[in-house]
Structure formats: structure tokens, C-alpha cells
A = this chain, B = another copy of it.
Amino acid sequence: MSSSSSGHAAHPPAAPGDALADVDTPALVLDLDAFEANLAAVHGHARANGVRVRAHGKAHRCPEIACRQLAAGAVGVCCQKVGEAEGFAAAGIDDILVSNEIVGAAKLARLARLARSVRLAVCVDHPDAVTALAQACVAEGSRLDVLIEVDVGQGRCGVASVDEALALARALAAAPRLRLRGLQAYHGGAQHLRTAGERAAAFGETMRRAARVRDTLRSAGFRCEEVSGGGTGTFIHEAASGIYTEIQPGSYVLMDLDYRANQADAAAPALRQAIGVLATVMSVRDAHVVLDAGLKALALDSGPPAMRLPGWAVRTVSDEHTVVDRGPGTPALSLGARCLLDPGHCDPTMALHDWVVACRTNRVEAVWPVLPRGASR
């Protein structure tokens, strides 16, 4: 058993200076012009609203992208896993929030160890987790900031009541080496409600719940300086709320079909599709072609990908193939032609790739590593 035998990412799909048409496929391609426009739009919006951006690294798992988010004004990154936090820290990012609960002695030891070298915070929603976290910090000789996660409507993680939040705040105050920083208050399901009205209504409830917990904790004498949350679908609401101190968008730099299916908010900055999966035509028939990218290059949980080239419709996606049908009057594609597919869901699609091929006007500028699959632990 050797870690190098598992991890070795043979054959990067491109090198700086290559033409886009020469990139090996399937490859995850980032359009740098669109990426930079998205950075400017969201970070500018946050600045104008006086809210900090803590960019969500779970969307891309790419330290080079995270560094550019920091350069655009992000105060740090958030992520969901200890392995992601380690990967971002190794790239020099020194302010990281694990916006998720971490359970298990081995993971907590790694987390507490990482807290020796970076400004680190993590979420809790259970009293046993406070005890375990404190033990890990004592053992590693480190200190951790903690956010209490509040279930603000998704029905997933987070405390369901103000009383539970108060109990956790008291446990944190009594625990060694832990400090209550504030609240994690994110509603994932609200990001993809299709109309602006539905998202605004969901946010109303999110804010009501977050404010109630924050105010109760403050009334009980606890400092609760941070309220963090909000994604690409709702961040304009968190930014304008007066309650949230940090927003956590991630997909905004990449984009996908699921977010593009949202009806736009009038107040939201426009975002461009920045990633695509480059594929090669590997089989040709009169009425369809087959591309060499399938389920192992494109996540299907939020629906199939779409051809960026007009006139072609995705029929099926299987493990290593995407079959696309040619519309009436659409010019044929030749064997070997390159096509871009826009993914249904950016986060899990990114995690299928080992490299991001960063391009500008059809020329490769850089090839950036994506954290290994083991970052899921």
C-alpha cells in the first residue's frame, strides 16, 4: 500500500501555452475572463453592502482558485472537510472555517493540529461534539473558534431550538481551548428555489431564525460576533440583511445549469458560465455523435449537462460516453472535434477532475491541481 500509487495524477491534460483545441479530454476547463468577471461582480457587491466574503472552497477544491478569491477581497475560505482545510492550508491560506460538523477522534486530532498554524473555526450542533473538540485541542495544544450551526430551514444539520443553542454556548464557555465565534446559518435548499420571490420568502425565515438565536445568546451574555452563511443563490439577501457579517458563496466563480435555471434577482450581479467539461467526438453517426466524457467527468445529480454548441441536444450520459443528437439543419461534427459541456452541478463535477485547465481566448494560461479525492475525509 503506497499513497503515491493511488494518488499519482498521470498525464495532465494540457500545459500553459497550449491551444484549447489541443487539450486532452475529458478536461475541466475554466474560462478566465468569465471567472474574473464573476469575482469582480460578487466581491464588488459584497463591498458595496459592507459584508465580508468567506469564499466556499467546497465548490472547487482548488487552492489556486481560492488564492484568487482572497486576492479579490475574500477574508478567507470555508470548506466542509478536514481534508479540504488541510489542502487549503498547505497552499498558504491561513483563515479557514470548516462550515460543517466534524465527528470522529482521528479527524478531530487532525483539525486540532491544523489549528496550531492557521486561524481555524469549526461548527457544532451537539454537546458531545464540544467535549470531543476540547479534548482534541488539549491533546494537540491548540485553540479553536467554534460556530454553533443553526438549522435555518433546511432540516439537515444544526440546532433546531434556541434552548439547544444556549446549552451549546454554555458548554463552549465551560470547555477549555474553545471560543464561541458566532453562528453558522446556511440554508442550502433555498439556493435553488427557482423564483426570486421564493428565495426571498425562504430567506425571511432563515433570517428570523438566525436573528432569534443571535439575540438570545447576546441577551444571555454571550458574544456572538459572527453570523456566517448564504450561497450563490441567496447571498444578496444575507449581504443586505444587517444580521450576517460574512457570506459564503462558492459556485459563483464556476456556475452551472442548476444555478442558471434560477430566475434572476433584480439586485443580483449577473454571473457567467466559467467552467465547462471539454470532450472529444469519438464516434459519428448521421443523427448523433458520441463524446468521450461521461458520468466519471460530469456529475448528474442535478440533471444532465448541456452542449454549449447550439443545435445539439444531450440524449444520454453513461460511464464514459455522452450521446448528443443533431438538430435539424445543424452542421455535422467530425471525428476528433472538441466540444464543451456545461455541467448540471459544478461542485461534484469539479471533484471528478484532477486538474483545472485555465484558459483565455482559447489558449491555456495555467493548469491548477484540484485537491485529491481523499479531501472528502
- What is the minimal beta-carbon distance from A239 to any residue of chain B, in angstroms? 23
Contact residues, A48-101 vs B (CB, 8 A): 58, 80-81, 83, 86-87, 100-101
Interface centre among A27, A110, A158, A292 (most CB of B within 10 A): A292
Residues of B within 8 A of A128 (CB): 335-336
A107 contacts the other chain (Cβ, under 8 Å)?
yes
Contact residues, A284-316 vs B (CB, 8 A): 284-285, 288, 290, 292-293, 295-297, 299-301, 316
Residues of B within 8 A of A348 (CB): 295-296, 319
Determine which of B6, B280, B319 lies in contact with A80 in the assembled complex, contact meaning CB atoms within 8 Å.
B319
Interface size class of A (residues with CB under 8 A): 35 or more
Interface centre among A11, A126, A299, A323 (most CB of B within 10 A): A11
Q: A366: nearest residue on chain B (CB-CB)?
A: B1
Residues of B within 8 A of A101 (CB): 282-283, 290
Contact residues, A88-144 vs B (CB, 8 A): 100-104, 106-107, 110, 125-126, 128-129
Q: A79: nearest residue on chain B (CB-CB)?
A: B320
Residues of B within 8 A of A11 (CB): 83, 110, 374, 377
Residues of B within 8 A of A318 (CB): 156, 188
CB–CB A376/B296 < 8 A = yes
Residues of B within 8 A of A351 (CB): 296, 352
CB–CB B1/A10 < 8 A = no
- What is the minimal beta-carbon distance from A168 to any residue of chain B, in angstroms? 13
A178 contacts the other chain (Cβ, under 8 Å)?
no
With A9-B6, A366-B1, A374-B11 in contact, do A319 and B347 touch (Cβ < 8 Å)? yes
A197 contacts the other chain (Cβ, under 8 Å)?
no
Contact residues, A16-32 vs B (CB, 8 A): 16, 24-27
Q: A28: nearest residue on chain B (CB-CB)?
A: B373
CB–CB B335/A26 < 8 A = no
CB–CB B335/A354 < 8 A = no
CB–CB A300/B297 < 8 A = no
A155 contacts the other chain (Cβ, under 8 Å)?
yes
- What is the minimal beta-carbon distance from A10 to any residue of chain B, in angstroms? 5
A157 contacts the other chain (Cβ, under 8 Å)?
yes
CB–CB A354/B372 < 8 A = yes
CB–CB B1/A372 < 8 A = no
Alpha-carbon distance between A13 and B83 when the two chains are bound, in angstroms: 12
Residues of B within 8 A of A352 (CB): 351-352, 373, 376
CB–CB B317/A301 < 8 A = yes
CB–CB A1/B12 < 8 A = yes
CB–CB A374/B10 < 8 A = yes
Alpha-carbon distance between A205 and B9 when the two chains are bound, in angstroms: 41
With A11-B83, A300-B300, A354-B374 in contact, do A280 and B1 touch (Cβ < 8 Å)? no
Besides the contacts A10-B374, A156-B283, A296-B348, what 15 more A-B pairs have beta carbons closer than 8 Å? Answer: A4-B4, A6-B354, A6-B355, A7-B7, A9-B372, A13-B374, A24-B104, A24-B106, A81-B320, A101-B282, A103-B336, A188-B318, A295-B301, A295-B347, A319-B347
What are 12 A-B pairs at a CB distance below 8 A? Answer: A4-B4, A7-B9, A24-B107, A81-B320, A104-B280, A104-B336, A125-B283, A156-B316, A295-B299, A296-B373, A297-B376, A301-B317
